[in-house]
Structure 1
Amino acid sequence: MPDHLPPTMPLDALGVRLAARAGRLAGHTSSLAPGFVQGNLAILPAALAGDFLRFCQRNPKPCPVLGISEPGSPHIPELGLDLDLRTDLPRYRIWRQGQLVEEPTSIAHVWRDDLVAFVLGCSFTFEHALMEDGIRLRHVAQGRNVAMWRTSIACVPAGPFAGPMVVSMRPFSPADAIRAIQITTRFPGVHGAPVHIGHPHLIGIEDLSRPDYGDAVEVADDEIQVFWACGVTPQAVIAAARPDFAITHAPGAMLVTDLRNSSLAVL
């Protein structure tokens, strides 16, 4: 079974979800369903949902909320009518007491009536806008997942949720870096403008060749590293909070919604 469909496969959002639901897609979703909004996933017991919502509101750069489910419901109709949060992501992570215990392709076997799901904006949306403008993304060209690191940037805490911001990095020429900043600023609902440029050690990243999540890419001597807040941040925060039970997406394995990227542009 292939773990990633070819980027050229002409799947729309529903097609990607159905492929994941059928077990034909278990890898990352970067470059799939161009033009459709992709989202990070965090699922928590209802008793913790209020604290987590406040955490997202206080940290909108890494945790921009696109949708929230009703307790016990695996559906968020405003993100897609034929959408099942239990099966429609390529891969999930199950956490118990802050420890990663399983990475299944379905969470139907652990779904509970008290679970609340949060779908958060993902940088794959602004990546599509960058590529439409002719800016090349090295990890996409190489068929890799974007590189991500935990940083020394502290998130604003809420209840038990506190911890480091996770960032994703893309290298650019100086001219493309300027253009990338201009373009991503138009998309605050999917992380918006970068949080850091160059000098990774200033945000606690000591080795660009060893990302905490995703795949490393080469950075040429004449390129600038540009860092965006990342929706994997809840995974670091959940690990630190150590709730009895939680579910997230596996890094890079996103929920593809029926929303159009253009609907999130503010200009």
Structure 2
Amino acid sequence: MNLPALSFDQLRHLAPRALRRHIATDQYQGHTSGLGQGRVQANIVILPGDWADEFLRFCTLNRQACPILDITRPGDPLFRHLGEHVDIRHDVPRYRVYRQGELTEQPQNIKHLWRDDLVAFAIGCSFSFEQPLLEAGIDLRHVKLGRNVAMYQTDIDTRPTERLQGKLVVSMRPLKAADAIRAIQITGRMPNVHGAPVHIGDPRLIGIHDLGAPDYGDAVPLADDELPVFWACGVTPQAVVQASRPPLCITHAPGCMLVSDLHNHSL
């Protein structure tokens, strides 16, 4: 069934299940920041079974970047703990398909790629801590501008497994010093969605040389009285996939998350 196209402002008012239904019919391909009515959002990684156990170990070693919210059974496309009929084959606005580490496809659904050996991982997303930041009166410029958050690859190594290794990816939000302190306090209580920032201040110290040219997402202006605040990001597995080159890996497109039925406050 085809649903009518909705504006971003109209999408903001949809409950999670209705939003997923809209996405599943290929009516929306954009970022999900500000959508979902305060529900938990998730990054997605899908791997063949012979890589899934190792990726689980990688997530355990790199929990701040890859906090796991749910895992599917091999060949089962449904997440059982994220809501009602959450089907990973079509409930994400846009996907990325990597083969041997190379990006080969960016489809709106992956029904044509689904196999009996695939395992899907839902990983906590920083969009989930944006609601409590906003409720605390902290300005988030990318939300106000209707943009995707800015994300950057750093020179910080993740903790490797036998086959999986790569650099940490971070998301950045410009904040005044007082707001940055408050943001540390708030996000530090939410380890399932990356926890406290990993860096504040000079981006060159973590290998970022141009804030105006993010590796993923949209550039967000930094005012003279603001500090760039960096959180570990669930896009990290995409950098790891490119470096480690598994035969197949499917992820969400950066910023295009799976919106669950879980409330952010439950975290």
Give TM class, smaller chain: over 0.9
Cα deviation for residue 81 of structure 1 reads 2.0
* Structure 2 letter corresponding to 1:57: T
What secondary structure sits across from 1:202 in the alignment?
Answer: helix
What secondary structure sits across from 1:78 in the alignment?
Answer: coil
Cα gap change, 1:4 to 1:101, in 2 (>3 Å): farther
What secondary structure sits across from 1:38 in the alignment?
Answer: strand
Cα deviation for residue 4 of structure 1 reads 6.5
What secondary structure sits across from 1:79 in the alignment?
Answer: coil
Q: Give ranges in structure 1 of 5+ residues lacking alignment.
A: none
Cα deviation for residue 134 of structure 1 reads 1.3
Counterparts in 2 of 1:1-267, with a 5 A limit? 5-6=8-9, 9-264=12-267
What CA deviation, in whole Å up to 9, does each residue of 1:85-143 have, x standing for no partner? 00000000011110001111100001000000000000000011101111110001001
What CA deviation, in whole Å up to 9, does each residue of 1:19-58 have, x standing for no partner? 1001111100000012200000000000000110000000
Q: Give ranges in structure 2 of 5+ residues lacking alignment.
A: none
Cα deviation for residue 234 of structure 1 reads 0.3
Length-normalised TM-score, structure 1: 0.96
What secondary structure sits across from 2:43 in the alignment?
Answer: strand
Q: Alpha carbon RMSD of aligned pairs, Å?
A: 1.3
Cα deviation for residue 260 of structure 1 reads 1.0
* Structure 2 letter corresponding to 1:47: D
What secondary structure sits across from 2:86 in the alignment?
Answer: coil
**Aligned partners of 1:211, 1:23: CA distance in 2, in Å?**
27
**Aligned partners of 1:129, 1:37: CA distance in 2, in Å?**
12
Cα deviation for residue 221 of structure 1 reads 1.1
* Structure 2 letter corresponding to 1:76: F
**Aligned partners of 2:39, 2:45: CA distance in 1, in Å?**
20
What secondary structure sits across from 1:262 in the alignment?
Answer: helix
**Aligned partners of 1:39, 1:218: CA distance in 2, in Å?**
26
* Structure 2 letter corresponding to 1:117: A
What secondary structure sits across from 2:87 in the alignment?
Answer: coil
**Aligned partners of 2:61, 2:6: CA distance in 1, in Å?**
35
**Aligned partners of 1:30, 1:166: CA distance in 2, in Å?**
18
Cα deviation for residue 6 of structure 1 reads 2.1
Cα gap change, 1:240 to 1:7, in 2 (>3 Å): farther
**Aligned partners of 2:128, 2:10: CA distance in 1, in Å?**
15
* Structure 1 letter corresponding to 2:201: G
Cα gap change, 1:260 to 1:44, in 2 (>3 Å): same
Cα deviation for residue 159 of structure 1 reads 2.0
* Structure 2 letter corresponding to 1:5: F
Amino-acid identity (%): 57
What secondary structure sits across from 2:12 in the alignment?
Answer: coil
* Structure 2 letter corresponding to 1:168: S
**Aligned partners of 1:61, 1:85: CA distance in 2, in Å?**
23
Q: Moved runs in structure 1, 4+ residues, more than 4 A?
A: 1-4
Cα deviation for residue 11 of structure 1 reads 1.0
**Aligned partners of 1:4, 1:61: CA distance in 2, in Å?**
34
